[in-house]
Amino acid sequence: MTPSDLRQLRYTEHFLIWSIRTSLSCCTQCRTLMREMDRAFGPLSQAGHCGLVIFLRAMGQGKRTLRIGRPGHIELTSDERCFLALFAALQAGDRDRATAHARWLAGSDAVHDICLAAGVLTRLFSQRGLEFRQFEDARAAGADRASIPPDDGKVRVLPWPPHRPAEDLSLSSVF
């Protein structure tokens, strides 16, 4: 079963989601993010940071609106579960499944760039012994996809606290 919240994730999976959320809602040069990159990737922390930035820029080339939770938000969005499935497929060497997840996430021709950038991060995780799990229902990682608002070329960050309307962050405004 694909996890539905952060408490069900391994360190690697939690770190990936947290890094994406933090980069999009704070900035990619956040001190906390840089410190955690050091912990996760050790001497390869600069490569890990660059890989994350390149991955997010590649995602920014996509045509779909992505739903991303704020740091600290417990529940995973369908797109965040699809990120986990993408990285797990790349780590397992399943290029077809990884391409399918990237195509769903991007909704565009940026699939190749997304897979390359995610592949760099995946190799760094593997070099540090950090693994992503394969889930039985990984193909249904985005089961609530029908609830996603129309595409507008922006990343939609879930509100925090939950009663506020969602914010729209353009990836170009983050970098």
Round to whole Å and give the CA distance between 175 and 136: 35
Round to whole Å and give the CA distance between 161 and 164: 6
Round to whole Å and give the CA distance between 175 and 173: 6
**Listed residue (143, 146, 150, 123) closest to 55, CA to CA:** 123
Q: Confirm whether 81 is domain-assigned.
A: yes
Domain count, the chain: 1
pLDDT score recorded for residue 29 = 77
Q: Confirm whether 54 is domain-assigned.
A: yes
Q: Confirm whether 82 is domain-assigned.
A: yes
Q: Does the bond joining 161 to the residue before it have cis omega, within 30 degrees of 0? A: yes
pLDDT score recorded for residue 152 = 44
Cα 166 from chain centroid?
A: 18
pLDDT score recorded for residue 136 = 63
Q: Confirm whether 99 is domain-assigned.
A: yes
Round to whole Å and give the CA distance between 80 and 4: 10
pLDDT score recorded for residue 108 = 74
By residue range, what is the domain housing residue 36? Answer: 6-174
pLDDT score recorded for residue 155 = 52
Round to whole Å and give the CA distance between 108 and 52: 20
Per-residue pLDDT in tens (0 to 9) along the chain, 175 residues: 678 889 999 999 999 999 999 999 887 778 899 999 999 999 999 999 999 999 999 998 888 888 999 888 899 999 999 999 999 999 999 999 999 999 999 887 789 999 999 999 999 999 999 999 987 654 444 444 443 344 444 455 444 333 333 344 334 333 3
Q: What angle do CA 155, 119, 91 make, to 5 degrees?
A: 110
User: What DSSP string describes 34-76?
Assistant: HHHHHHHHGGGHHHHHHHHHHHHHHHHTSSSPEEEPPTT--BP
3 state SS for 118-136: HHHHHHHHHHCCCCCCCCC
Q: Confirm whether 1 is domain-assigned.
A: no
Q: Confirm whether 118 is domain-assigned.
A: yes
Using the structure block, give the residue that is written with the tokens 């539905």: 4
Q: What angle do CA 169, 170, 173 make, to 5 degrees?
A: 100
Q: Confirm whether 34 is domain-assigned.
A: yes
pLDDT score recorded for residue 83 = 95
- β pairing state of 66-68 and 155-157: parallel
